[in-house]
């Protein structure tokens, strides 16, 4: 599937950290959560996707700082425009395999936050591709919420009665709960007109997953508009997903497909659920198990093959699921990877 490297360290492979996918006509947009780029492949006959092109976002989005990934976790394409969302979460440092006990303890006490991860962005295709698809034009600039430019999604949720306890305001001197500790972790994205649905892998509240909905304008910014109760600038939708969090979202007609999987660093059941008529609803939803139709279960492995992205293919009757940390059997050639295609019920 991917036959080139991107902006990763030379010893790393782009296919090992894929975190999001979205279809645009004959193309697939994918992202690796350890880069500052988005990737485009072209679908060919025989279920192949090739002609890989990489688009670095460092200058285009004027990323703060001089290093660090964006942790892109969600992609969608709407009206010839590419949307992306970062995890918005902080990260607890990983323990290396050869760490001493003292080094392991220091790592687990280290929590890092980056403004690069706190981003929701809208990128018109012409901005990325340029005249004739060259990728050098800037006829229409991107729109951004976050990246240290004023209030962002985390700031918007800081006083929320359900989510605010997972966010520590900077004035307290305490860091927020890391994403992989059941803290704020945005992993799903679906856009319909001016409505933006952001699925949270965490937190999961006593078995309930959340989707945050925004309504944004079409100007140079993405300032959320009043949409919720009491003129709140967001809606919250609660989904009883058997204790799972949202790993991705995808539009299918007027419905939302919800790729659900374990929160934190866990292996376990992964499945796709259908939220019927999600795009026609104008109110906050509380969806019980019986309100969500399970389309299919997705295979998973132990420490590998974690489903990270879903997109509906051109036939409208099947969905492609992409995996992060892919099992060895999924990797062929130098940089190719195999995804799965599942049949949809409607």
Q: Is the pLDDT of residue 172 over 80?
A: no
What are the pLDDT digits (tens) for 16-31? 999 999 999 999 999 9
Residue 133 has pLDDT above 60, yes or no: no
Sheet with 48-56, side-by-side order of all strands: 18-24, 27-32, 37-44, 48-56
Mean pLDDT over residues 111-116, rounded? 92
137: confidence class by pLDDT, cuts 50, 70, 90: very low
Mean pLDDT calculated for residue range 178-194? 96
In the predicted model, what is the mean pLDDT of residues 307-325? Answer: 95
Between 102 and 6, the more confident residue is 102
pLDDT tens per residue, range 56-90: 999 999 999 878 899 999 999 998 899 999 999 99
Instruction: Respond yes or no on whether the N-terminal peptide bond of residue 306 is cis (omega within 30° of 0).
Output: no
Mean pLDDT of the chain: 91
Please give the average per-residue pLDDT across 114-132, as a whole number. 86
Give residue 87's pLDDT: 98
- Between strands 255-261 and 270-275, the pairing is antiparallel
Q: Which two tokens stand for residue 148?
A: 């240290």
Percent of residues, the chain, with pLDDT higher than 90: 81
**Interatomic CA distance for residues 346 and 264, integer angstroms:** 32
How far is residue 308's CA from residue 345's CA, in Å, rounded to a whole number? 21
Q: What is the pLDDT of residue 138?
A: 44
pLDDT for the residue numbered 66: 75
Residue 4 in this model has a pLDDT that exceeds 60: no
Q: Is the pLDDT score of 52 beyond 80?
A: yes
Residue 281 near residue 215, CB atoms below 8 Å: no
Q: Which tokens in the block code for residue 90? A: 């902080």
Tens-digit pLDDT profile for residues 276-285: 999 999 999 9
Confidence at residue 1, expressed as pLDDT on a 0 to 100 scale? 59
What per-residue confidence (pLDDT) applies to 136? 46
Higher pLDDT, 2 or 281: 281
pLDDT attached to residue 180: 93
Q: Is the pLDDT of residue 253 over 90?
A: yes
Question: 157-169 pLDDT, tens per residue?
Answer: 999 999 999 986 5
Please compute, for residue 301, the number of CA atoms within 13 A of its CA located in the half-sphere on the CB side.
12
- Please state the rounded mean pLDDT for residues 232-254: 97
């Amino acid at each position: 599937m991917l036959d080139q490297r991107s902006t990763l360290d030379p010893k790393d492979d782009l296919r090992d950290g894929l975190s999001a996918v979205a279809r645009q006509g004959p193309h697939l947009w994918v992202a690796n959560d350890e880069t500052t780029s988005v990737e485009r492949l072209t679908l060919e006959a025989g279920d192949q996707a090739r002609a890989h092109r990489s688009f670095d976002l460092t200058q285009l989005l004027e990323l703060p700082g001089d290093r660090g990934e964006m942790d892109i976790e969600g992609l969608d394409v709407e009206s010839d425009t590419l949307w992306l969302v970062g995890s918005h979460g902080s990260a607890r440092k990983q323990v290396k395999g050869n760490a001493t006990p003292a080094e392991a303890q220091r790592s687990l006490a280290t929590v890092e936050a980056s403004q690069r991860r706190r981003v929701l962005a809208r990128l018109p295709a012409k901005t990325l591709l340029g005249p004739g698809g060259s990728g050098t034009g800037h006829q229409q600039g991107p729109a951004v919420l976050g990246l240290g430019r004023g209030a962002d999604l985390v700031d918007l949720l800081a006083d929320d009665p359900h989510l605010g306890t997972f966010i520590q305001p900077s004035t307290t001197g305490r860091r927020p709960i890391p994403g992989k500790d059941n803290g704020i972790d945005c992993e799903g994205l679906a856009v319909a007109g001016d409505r933006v649905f952001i699925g949270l892998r965490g937190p999961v509240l006593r078995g309930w997953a959340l989707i945050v909905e925004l309504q944004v304008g079409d100007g140079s910014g993405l300032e959320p508009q009043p949409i919720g109760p009491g003129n709140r600038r967001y809606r919250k939708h609660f989904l009883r997903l058997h204790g799972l969090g949202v790993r991705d979202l995808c539009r299918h007609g007027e419905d939302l497909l919800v790729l659900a999987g374990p929160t934190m660093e866990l292996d376990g059941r992964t499945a796709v659920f259908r939220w019927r008529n999600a795009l026609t609803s104008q109110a906050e939803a509380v969806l019980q198990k019986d309100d969500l139709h399970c389309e299919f279960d997705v295979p998973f492995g132990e420490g590998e093959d974690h489903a990270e992205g879903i997109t509906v293919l051109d036939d409208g009757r099947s969905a492609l699921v992409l995996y992060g940390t892919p099992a060895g059997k999924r990797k062929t050639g130098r940089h190719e990877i195999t995804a799965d295609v599942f049949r949809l019920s409607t």
